[in-house]
Amino acid sequence: AQKVIQVWSTTSRQEGEKLTLDCSYKTSQVLYHLFWYKHLLSGEMVLLIRQMPSTIAIERSGRYSVVFQKSRKSISLVISTLQPDDSGKYFCALWELLLSGSFNKLTFGAGTRLAVCP
Burial of 63 by CB count in 10 Å (0-12 exposed, 13-18 middle, 19+ buried)?
middle
**What is the closest distance, in whole angstroms, from the C-beta atom of residue 17 to another protein in the complex?**
25
**What is the closest distance, in whole angstroms, from the C-beta atom of residue 81 to another protein in the complex?**
26
**What is the closest distance, in whole angstroms, from the C-beta atom of residue 45 to another protein in the complex?**
3
CB under 8 Å to 48, separation ≥6 — which residues? 35, 36, 37, 38, 58, 59, 60, 64, 77, 90
**Of 82 and 111, CB closest to another protein:** 111
**What is the closest distance, in whole angstroms, from the C-beta atom of residue 16 to another protein in the complex?**
29
**Of 17 and 52, CB closest to another protein:** 52
**Of 1 and 118, CB closest to another protein:** 1
Site for another protein, rule CB under 8 A = 4, 9, 33, 35, 37, 39-40, 42-47, 50, 91, 95, 97, 101, 103-111
Partners of 36 in the β-ladder = 49, 92
Helix (H) or strand (E) holding 64: strand 64-69
Least Cα distance to 4 among 118, 87, 112, 114 occurs for 112
**Of 19 and 38, CB closest to another protein:** 38
